[in-house]
Chains A and B, each alone.
Chain A
Amino acid sequence: MNALARMVRSQAGASVIATLLALLIVTLVIAAGGYDIGHAATALWNGSVGSPYSFFSGTLVRATPLIIVGLAVAVAFQAGVLNIGAEGQLLAGAAAAMTAGLAMTGWPGWISVPAELIAGMLAGAACAGIAAVLKRSFGVLEVISTLMLNFVALYGVSYLVRGPLEEPTHTYPETLRLAESARLPVIIPGQRLHLGFIIAVVLAIAAWWFVRSTATGFRIRAVGAGAAAAASAGRVSVDRVVFGTFLASGALAGLGGGVQVTGVTYKLFELISPGYGYTAIAVALLARLNPLAVVVAGIFFGALEAGGAGMQRDAGVPAGFVYAIEALVILGVLAVDRVRTYAGAHSAPVAGERAA
């Protein structure tokens, strides 16, 4: 489809402009802070892509949850579902995967690892399901309900790691580590990159194909872009599509949590997610909700976070600036998009534009 290609191209252009703007502003801030820009840039480069280790064990490892959860957000937003509860769904998924993994100690990996991931997906879907039921049966705005559920999930994890799942010595508020066999395998010897990255990329391709080529995927897009028309002209059951997409989005976010505990941390603790669920919104938006572009945006943000850690280590630039970049990228995309609208370009709606 030519038009789709054209749209993606021009939207990619907007995302690139927005990103460059954000980086420019951040560079100015860093310079104003009295840091050596050259030194900082070198540290950023070295920390993210400068060596095989920084790329495979830094950037791609950090990108993995961002891609998976970014897909969760992108799919939801495509259907007009403003799921901002990916953070809570991720936590629920991480907790469930961990619980499953601890319960299945001693089982062969080919059983326990998939079981952990499935448990994570089910928990994420269940967490999203609460908001979906509240929306469908009680008309509760998902923005508010998912926000509330993020906190409920956070306190739930806190309870688990300080209560039933706390390691036996009760020294640290965290669980025991998963057995070797219950972990996602490392895919490059000597690196930290694990199978979860492959899962993320395969999921992105599958989601891209699904949204573009299947009838269900088209229903999701149609409901997001024009719910009333889909209901009237296509007799689409909008409630069912929204409900199903909500659950799928939650399952993806839960999988992101499951992959994180089985592939990276091997244990559960309160701060297992440094806000992946929120960063994923920036990832999805930068990717213009296109699942393939989510991979690119996820790796970009992963590189920023890995490089940001490197910058703090080597050049003393605070790592918090990564959040500022992410925020500026979102604002940049929004602003560039508005400018395009004013310039008369017929663009597809911005991410998350509500279906009335």
Chain B
Amino acid sequence: MDFHRRADWAVTDPAYALTLHGITKQFGSTVALDGADFDVRAGTLHALLGENGAGKTTLMRLAFGMLRADAGTIEVDGTPRRWRSSADAIAAGIGMVHQHFLLIPAMTVAENVSLGDRGILRGFNPRAAADRVRRIGTETGLVLDPAACVADLAVGAQQRLEIVKALARDARILILDEPTAVLSPAESQELYAWLRAFVARGHTVVIITHKVREALAIADDLTVLRRGRTVLTGSSRNLDEIAVIGAMIGASVTADAPATANVSAPGAAVMSLEHVSVIDERGVQRLRDVSMEVRAGEIVGIAGVEGSGQHELLRVLAGRLTADRGHVKTPAHIGFVPADRLRDALVPAMTLTENLALKDSGSARGIVNWDSYEARAAATIRGHDVRTSGPEALAGALSGGNQQKFVLGRELEGSPEALVVENPTRGLDIRAAAHVLAELRSARVAGVAVAVYSSDLDEVLSIADRMIVCFDGNATATAVDAGAVARALVGLG
């Protein structure tokens, strides 16, 4: 197969580069897409918005041929298309940059770019591949060292490589999934400028994002998905932030739970770090001389772009990671809610009773009293509004929101002195998210020392009494204010 061949399909409606109509997709019992429509005008930058789990990524993976729809039609440049695999979509001029980069760390830049060239015996000439990378670099400004090993590239360069990969396949429609999630604000601006220039040359861009303000500023058109359906679409000139957020979260739901701020005065320090440093197994320093404390009855918000040290900071606070240097004080009874609940908090193949017992599994001795755990699991289910058939249900059978409510309930069981929480609402619908945030607030009122990290800055700001911002392994206290935090996130102020 030759990628550079252009099929001479009839162009019936050149106004639209990509049209998806009535797309339905189900994973097991979960409906991810429920008749979604998505129309992208040629030569525009289109933002696809929605809450976590709204179906944005699924829709774009369908457009890119990585998944197959249960129902619905796909048209490219007005021609109905059917993908057998992403190879077909690539041949039709679609490129996709995934949120988690699909790069092979053990290979060079040139090898990654050449990946997917057809033919079992077709030669791969490293020198020609390097020339191709350099040529694309001079043509587009996306400059990369072809001989560099991908494992050694910084995140921004890896993203450039993903775009170069798509361009090497002559992509005219570029889909980017949450492209700025891993970038600094300056890098984001650079990327957006490049995308605008790409569009100005007549190409088409779709960005998946949940950042409303960014989308309004950069995109020509917006489409909002909610629960697998298209709920809003139009030109960004005619839309404002309130309308878009309303569409994303549903008009009848208010995002803010009743405020309980300032009802409790913080008490003594429960968790404290003094001059703490952490070096990971690869020898990279993750925390540098960090000192901070969390007092009883307060919520300390933690912010940081990926890889700034917040991951390690939370684990040191929760007693899950030993500091290499410095002094750490944490209470014996401490709850920890990690971000990846199906990996780090729950065992999906075990029952809720067993998952409750998991909390004590490291220290338990002798014979396990399963009746007592079953009663405690039942109490947790009742006390935290977990919707399930009972303590004997498998954790994997619960919805994400109910899993998170169970984890939070388990970690709050028995009045812990402290609670460390990481991205507590990731993947939850708005109602479950509001419930989780309300639980954190009431834990504070009950005198628990709470540390919360969220990648959603608005969310942390909405519940934090104080803010700590991580940047390059340092932790700095800032005001509970978006501007102050944003500056600290990039090491300013």
- Interface of A toward B, CB cutoff 8 Å: 1-3, 213-215, 218-219, 221-222, 225-226, 228-237, 344, 346-349, 356
Contact = CB atoms under 8 A, between A and B. Distances in A.
Given A3-B392, A233-B336, A234-B360, A218 B345 contact: no
A2 B392 contact: yes
A142 B170 CA distance: 45
Interface string B358-375: 111111111110100000
A344 B363 CA distance: 35
Contact of A226 (B350, B364, B410): B350
Contacts of A214: 366-368
Contacts, number: 96
7 A-B pairs with the lowest CB-CB distances in the bound complex, closest first: A226-B347, A215-B364, A234-B361, A235-B362, A3-B392, A232-B344, A236-B362
A229 B368 contact: no
B338 A232 contact: yes
Main SS at interface, chain A: helix
B354 interface: yes
Given A225-B347, A230-B362, 20 more contacts: A2-B392, A213-B367, A214-B368, A215-B367, A222-B361, A226-B346, A226-B347, A226-B349, A226-B350, A232-B320, A233-B336, A233-B344, A233-B361, A234-B359, A234-B361, A235-B319, A237-B362, A344-B29, A346-B394, A346-B397
A1 B370 contact: yes
Nearest to B411: A233
B42 interface: no
Given A215-B366, A232-B338, A222 B358 contact: yes
A222 B345 CA distance: 12
A230 B347 contact: yes
A228 B320 CA distance: 12
A225 B350 contact: yes
A233 B359 contact: yes
Contact of B358 (A1, A213, A229, A346): A229
Given A213-B367, A230-B347, A1 B392 contact: yes
Contacts of B346: 226, 229, 233
Contact of B396 (A219, A221, A344, A346): A346
B28 interface: yes
Given A233-B359, A234-B360, A235-B362, A228 B336 contact: no
25 contacts: A3-B351, A215-B361, A215-B364, A215-B366, A215-B367, A219-B361, A219-B364, A221-B350, A222-B347, A222-B358, A222-B361, A225-B350, A226-B343, A226-B347, A228-B343, A229-B344, A229-B345, A232-B320, A232-B345, A233-B336, A233-B359, A233-B361, A235-B320, A348-B349, A349-B349
B363 A228 contact: no
B110 interface: no
B357 interface: yes
Interface string B316-340: 0001100000000000000010101
B362 A234 contact: yes
Contact of A229 (B29, B347, B394): B347
A145 to B, nearest CB: 21
A269 B364 CA distance: 45
Main SS at interface, chain B: loop
B416 interface: no
A222 B368 CA distance: 14
A244 B351 CA distance: 25
A226 to B, nearest CB: 3
Interface of B: 28-29, 319-320, 336, 338, 340, 343-351, 353-355, 357-368, 370, 392-394, 396-397, 407, 410
A214 B346 CA distance: 20
Nearest to B345: A233
Nearest to B337: A233
A213 B362 contact: no
Contact of B368 (A3, A215, A236): A215
Nearest to B348: A226
A231 B346 CA distance: 11
Contact of A230 (B358, B367, B368): B358
A348 to B, nearest CB: 5
A337 to B, nearest CB: 13
Nearest to A232: B344
Nearest to B338: A232
A152 to B, nearest CB: 30
A215 B359 CA distance: 12
Contacts of A1: 351, 353, 370, 392
Contacts of B360: 234
A25 B471 CA distance: 64
A66 B360 CA distance: 35
Contacts of B361: 215, 218-219, 222, 230, 233-234, 236
A239 B108 CA distance: 34
A356 B342 CA distance: 12
Contacts of A3: 351, 392-394
B229 to A, nearest CB: 24
A218 B368 contact: yes
A89 to B, nearest CB: 27
A218 B336 contact: no
A218 B343 contact: no
Nearest to A3: B392
Given A232-B338, A344-B29, A346-B394, A213 B368 contact: yes
Contact of A234 (B28, B358, B393): B358
Contacts of A235: 319-320, 362-363
A162 to B, nearest CB: 46
A229 B343 contact: yes
Contacts of A228: 340, 343-344
A251 B347 CA distance: 28
A226 B28 CA distance: 22
A228 B342 CA distance: 9
Could you say which of B348, B362, B396 has the most chain A C-beta atoms within 10 Å of its C-beta? B362
Given A226-B349, A234-B361, A235-B320, A344 B368 contact: no
Nearest to A213: B367
Contacts of B353: 1
A118 B349 CA distance: 36
B320 to A, nearest CB: 6
B358 A233 contact: yes
Nearest to A237: B362
Contacts of A236: 361-362
A346 to B, nearest CB: 5
A228 B346 CA distance: 9
B120 to A, nearest CB: 29
A218 B336 CA distance: 21
A215 B364 CA distance: 6
A142 to B, nearest CB: 20
A219 B367 CA distance: 12
B330 to A, nearest CB: 12
B142 to A, nearest CB: 34
Contacts of A221: 350
A218 B351 contact: no
B354 A218 contact: yes
A237 B349 CA distance: 20
A3 to B, nearest CB: 4
A228 B340 CA distance: 10
Contacts of A219: 361-362, 364
